[in-house]
Amino acid sequence: MTENLNYTDEEGVQFVMSIIKRFSYEEKDFVVAIERDKHHHEGKDCSCHEKGHTHTESEDSEEEALYVFEWSEGPEGGKLVSVNDGTLQQLNSILNELF
């Protein structure tokens, strides 16, 4: 069973993300996810996929875009937290091993 969580970016756009992999690095938990409903704008072009969360695939790639989030457990359950470019670079070797 795939776990789905909502992620809201800093502009308030909400995405439903499906967790496909969990891993830990330096005492923090991370997840790799895909966007469950990539075409939430019914075929219209949008820029919301370019902001607020980190792609591990290029935007013009035919492959499904993967997103990396820090996993934060709170009183209401799990929460997805965006990672900055520096953290993503630190995670690069782990991500290459996973995929």
The average pLDDT across 9-26 equals 92
The average pLDDT across 32-47 equals 66
Per residue, what are the HEC states of the chain?
Answer: CCEEEEEECCCCCEEEEEEEEEEEECCEEEEEEEECCCCCCCCCCCCHHHCCCCECCCCCCCCCCCEEEEEEEECCEEEEEECCHHHHHHHHHHHHHHC
The predicted pLDDT at position 76 comes to: 80
Residue 26 above 80 pLDDT?
yes
Name the pTM for this structure: 0.71
